[in-house]
Amino acid sequence: MSDTLKYEEKKLKIVGTRPLRPDGVDKVTGRARYGADYNLAGQLIGKVLRSPYAHARIKAIDVSAALALPGVKAVVTRDDFPEMPNEYASAGELTVNYRAVTRNMMAREKVLYDGHPVAALAAVSESVARAALALIKVDYEVLPHVIDVVEAMRPDAPLLHEDQYTEGVKPKPARPSNIAKRLEYGHGDLAAGFAKADVIIEREFNTKPVHQGYIEPQACLASYSADGQAELWTCTQGHFVFRAQCAKVLQMDVSKIRVTPTEIGGGFGGKNNVYNEPLAIALSRKSNRPVKMVMTREEVFRATGPTPGANVKVKIGCTLDGRITAAQAEVNFQAGAFPGSPVNQASMCAFTRYDIANVRVVGHDVTVNRPKVAAYRAPGAPIVVFGVESVIDELSKKLGIDPIEFRLKNAAKEGTQTYYGPKLGPIGYVQTLEAARAHPHYSAPLGPNQGRGVATGFWFNIGNETTCSLNLQPDGTLTLNLGTIDVAGGSRASLSMMVAEELGIELERVRPIIGDTSTLGFNFVTAGSRSTFASGMAGVIASRDMIEKLRARVAKIREVPLAAVAWKNGRAEPADARVVKFEPMSLAEIAAMAGRTGGPIAGHAEINAQGAGPGFGAHIVDVEVDRQTGAVKILRYTVVQDVGKAIHPAYVEGQMQGGAAQGIGWALNEEYVYGADGVLQNPGFLDYRVPVASDLPMIDTVIVEVPNPNHPYGVRGCGEVPIISPMAAIANAIDNAVGVRLYQQPFSPPRVLEALSGPAKR
């Protein structure tokens, strides 16, 4: 069957309603089992020793005293893991290099950031494990470090990787560099475009790394048996990708590792890659006991992926009537200790909301002495969009054009040529902007020191490898075995809803489960807003596959031609009772007879979903600035977004509200704070301030539905777009409130006060 089913408009019974989520009761009663809730008899507790330095050569590691401590059963260091050649693989929205994966999970020649693992051990209890960590002696030669992206790009900066030469530059540079890669996108004639402009604005922006901030720290439990098989329970966004990464760095056969995904307590891109999982398997292999490893919050901040800090330069020119003639950006992203920041995606997102003839974006992926960055909800896009949408706002203000009107004049539409390759298909950007302009929020009155800002966002959304099985159970109910993780958004609900819609049965008769890696073919990570799109496509294909089998079975049982059997109203009925009559059969009746009429019945889908539909959003925010303290209060917030089709509107709203809240935190408070020594100073929720309930107002939502033609229900995906616009929208609102434009995130009280008291930094 085809990997892509086209959109068909039809009357819907279940899709678009708001049923209770199937995983809900377990989550409100404490029964749901997350990563740290799994235990095995005889398990050991694993702990990691981490580097206290930002950059140092490891001269020697002595684990003998730790091993001698009673209760310590195994220790692993770099010597327990093989060297990996450069080999690239896809993991979520970012690509990993196994040479870096193995070095990030356990330092080899050097430690490259505060928190970099140096050794791991397993002991009979948490307290023994902690005591043993203190007995490991590491001899470091401390090296100069660099954590700022602009400083790291200088030729005289301390080098993280002596063998790293900038890719994308010809000829190959003579000297190694922290710039791992230079990339460039564009089209048209930039100089000619700027020559046509009446107004040109050029600005520079700087942002700090922020963390995904999932409330559940990484946790896993591994059990390696003497026959060379391993079982792993872990909170992951992609158990198949985790299995592949563990197999590679441990040099095991993929089929010998079985990964069972636990309930996941938030990921947002941060749980696309392994950290402790290979260490737990290695410790279990060495100790012959199950090993459980749970990170502390401090470890989560120090060693798991934040999003990059960045330096972004934006230059846009336009005519007096508000038509953009040229746009240029330089996007410099911290990659952390190993290459692979989302600078590529960010560069492609920078201007893709607009139809601009002349564009150039240059990006740099820069290694610095910080934890290796990970994906975070529309990776990279919020950073570059902060810069671009701030400049767009300045231009519209300078020309006296309403900011939404300005965007509409330049809006990308179906057929707009992107500067990175494809032409855009049917998209809903104009509809989204028009819905924002029509919202009562946009024309509501404001008080003193209050301002309104708008900003927009674009994200690609993705498809990729997806499988599922739909099994008809003996009582006529269905089990939907899914291979994509329900990362929080409610995909078990939305996917079951599409299956129930296809079969024409009550939703309660579809029971969704997430299968382990041995029950289904490969599934890519839940990332890129892909699960409802791609797993939805698979679920529909599996449903239609099952319907064909059901029709064939009923034709056999009723002894009628296949063409005479139609699937209607949740059962097999005569296609035309005037031609061939037979007694209709329900799912339960077919299921009851299945065994003796040909065996059990199941539907399957094994696809590489294509044709993901891009999503666009527009945010409106009102802020009030306290001129005494510099505090910015969010008074009102509205998210407008084209999602293609909202299968379960309540959870689509939840994505829009949650994404906006994360974006508000990013804008106002969140940042990694490092000392001069390169050590992270705020690795906890006390000093790393994520938004709490009293920081936020209600977040209004407007769902726009411009169907994706490449999905049977029109789904685009919705999870990532909502985090893209808040930073820019809030910066624009602050400028409108107090006439001060901020070029550095976060807009925390000290920064706002500084900006209020002096000329803004340009």
Partner 1 sequence: MSRNHVNATVNGDSVEFLCETGQTLLEALRDEVGLTGTKEGCGTGDCGACSVMVDGRLVCSCLMLAVEAEGKSIETIEGMAKGEALHPLQRKFLEHAALQCGICTPGILIAARSLLERNPDPSEAEVRYWLAGNLCRCTGYHKIVDAVLDAARELRGA
Of the ranges 236-244, 514-522, 566-574, 695-703, which one interacts with partner 1 (CB under 8 A)? 695-703
Residue 251 found at the interface with partner 1 (CB under 8 A): no
3-state secondary structure of 394: helix
Length of the chain equals: 762
Nearer to partner 1, 125 or 608 (CB): 125
Give the footprint of partner 1 on residues 293-322 (CB under 8 A).
294, 296-297
* b/e map 545-554, b = 16+ CB within 10 Å: bbbebbbebb
What is the number of other CB atoms lying within 10 angstroms of the CB of residue 185?
21
209 dihedral zone (left: phi>0; alpha: psi -120 to 50; beta): beta
Residue from the set 16, 24, 570, 749 that interacts with partner 1 by CB under 8 A? 24
Cβ proximity to partner 1: between 266 and 425 the closer is 266
d(CA 601, CA 471): 6
**Cis? peptide before 85, omega within 30° of 0:** no
Span 625-684, contacts to partner 1 by CB under 8 A? 650-651, 653-654, 657-662, 684
- Is 23 a binding residue for partner 1 by CB under 8 A? The answer is yes
Q: Using the rule CB under 8 A, which residue among 133, 318, 699, 731 binds partner 1?
A: 699
State which of residues 86, 448, 693, 762 lies at the interface with partner 1 (CB under 8 A). Answer: 693
Q: Does 692 bind partner 1 (CB under 8 A)?
A: yes
Contact present, 203 and 20 (Cβ < 8 Å)? no
Minimum distance, C-beta of residue 387 to partner 1, in the bound complex (Å): 24
d(CA 406, CA 319): 11
Q: Which of 1, 6, 10, 31 binds partner 1 (CB under 8 A)?
A: 31
d(CA 619, CA 436): 8
Min dist CB 34 to partner 1, Å, is 6
Q: CA quadruple 263, 269, 274, 276: dihedral positive or negative?
A: negative
Residues 6+ apart with CB under 8 A from 649: 16, 18, 703
Q: Which of 426, 567, 414, 415 is nearest to 7 (CA)?
A: 426
Of 21-29, 109-117, 445-453, 464-472, the segment contacting partner 1 by CB under 8 A is: 21-29
Residue with smaller CB distance to partner 1, 23 or 465: 23
d(CA 1, CA 285): 42
Handedness of CA 103, 106, 111, 116 (dihedral sign): positive
Minimum separation from the CB atom of position 67 to partner 1 (A) = 19
Pairing of strands 56-62, 310-318: unpaired
For position 698 contacting partner 1 by CB under 8 A, the verdict is: yes
Residue 66 near partner 1 by CB under 8 A: no
Handedness of CA 378, 380, 385, 386 (dihedral sign): positive
Closest CB to partner 1 among residues 339, 691: 691
Q: Taking CB under 8 A as the rule, does residue 265 contact partner 1? A: yes
Shortest Å distance, C-beta 278 to partner 1: 23
* CB 32 within 8 Å of CB 271: no
Give me the least distance between CB of 696 and partner 1, in Å please: 6
DSSP one-letter code for 160? S
Distance CA 413, CA 322 (A): 17
Nearest to partner 1 of 38, 419 (CB atom)? 38
Strands 94-97 and 110-111, bridge-based pairing: unpaired
CB of 21 to partner 1, least distance (A): 7
489 binds partner 1 (CB under 8 A): yes
For partner 1, the closer CB: 32 or 408: 32
- Which stretches within 271-418 are classed as H helix? 277-287, 297-303, 343-349, 381-399, 403-409
Name which of 432 and 638 has its Cβ closer to partner 1.
Answer: 638
The binder of partner 1 chosen from 14, 54, 264, 404 (CB under 8 A): 264
In terms of CB distance, is 47 or 364 closer to partner 1? 47
| Residue 75 CA from chain centroid, whole number | 33
Select the residue interacting with partner 1 from 266, 425, 476, 749 (CB under 8 A). 266
Q: Pick from 1, 20, 444, 513: which binds partner 1 (CB under 8 A)?
A: 20
Helix and strand counts by DSSP (H, E) for the chain: 20, 28
Q: With the CA atoms of 500, 504, 506 and 511 taken in that order, what torsion angle do they form, in degrees rounded to the nearest 10?
A: -30
Tokens 């206290």 belong to 52
The yes or no reply on residue 25 touching partner 1 (CB under 8 A) is yes
CA distances from 491 to 472, 620, 646 (A): 21, 28, 12
Residues 143, 685, 749, 754: which binds partner 1 (CB under 8 A)? 685
For residues 562 and 692, which CB has a smaller minimum distance to partner 1 in the complex? 692
| 622 lies in the binding site for partner 1 (CB under 8 A) | no
Nearer to partner 1, 404 or 699 (CB): 699
d(CA 254, CA 256): 5
Dihedral angle, C-alpha 435, 437, 442, 444, nearest 10 °: -100
Q: Is 36 in the site for partner 1 (CB under 8 A)?
A: yes
Choice between 242 and 688, CB closer to partner 1:
688
Coil vs helix vs strand at 155: coil
Sign of torsion, CA 644 650 651 656?
positive
**Of 33, 256, 286, 397, which lies in the binding site for partner 1, with binding defined by CB under 8 A?**
33
Question: Residue 214 or 616: which CB sits closer to partner 1?
Answer: 214
CB atoms within 10 A of CB 85: 8
The answer to whether the beta carbons of residues 550 and 518 sit under 8 Å apart is no
Closer to partner 1 by CB, 19 or 749: give it.
19
Q: How far apart are CA 342 and CA 384, in angstroms?
A: 11
Kindly indicate which of the ranges 120-128, 154-162, 412-420, 733-741 contains the residues binding partner 1, using the contact rule CB under 8 A. Answer: 120-128
Q: Which is nearer to partner 1, 128 or 343 (CB)?
A: 128
- Candidates 37, 151, 434, 754; binder of partner 1 (CB under 8 A) is 37
CB 510 to partner 1: min, Å:
18
Q: Is 41 one of the binding residues for partner 1 (CB under 8 A)?
A: no
Complex with partner 1: residue 696 or 756, whichever CB lies closer: 696
72 part of the interface to partner 1, by CB under 8 A: no
**Whose Cβ is closer to partner 1: residue 33's or residue 627's?**
33
Burial 18-47 (b: 16+ CB within 10 A, else e): ebebbbeeeeeeeeeebbbbbebeebbbbb
Residues that bind partner 1 (rule: CB under 8 A) add up to a total of 61
Ordered strands of the 632-642 beta sheet: 450-459, 615-625, 632-642, 699-704
Binding mask 491-510 for partner 1 (x = CB under 8 A): --------------------
Window 125-144: contact mask with partner 1 (x via CB under 8 A): xxx-----------------
Is residue 366 within 8 Å of 178, Cβ to Cβ? yes
The correct pick among 112, 135, 488, 704 for binding partner 1 (CB under 8 A) is 488
Q: Is 487 in the site for partner 1 (CB under 8 A)?
A: yes
In the region spanning residues 210 to 249, those forming contacts with partner 1, defined by CB under 8 A, are 212-217
In the complex with partner 1, which residue's Cβ is closer, 510 or 723?
A: 723
User: Residues 445-484: x/- map of binding to partner 1 (CB under 8 A)?
Assistant: ----------------------------------------
Looking at beta carbons only, is 19 or 52 nearer to partner 1? 19
Footprint of partner 1 (CB under 8 A): 18, 20-21, 23-34, 36-37, 125-127, 212-217, 263-268, 294, 296-297, 487-490, 650-651, 653-654, 657-662, 684-686, 690-696, 698-699
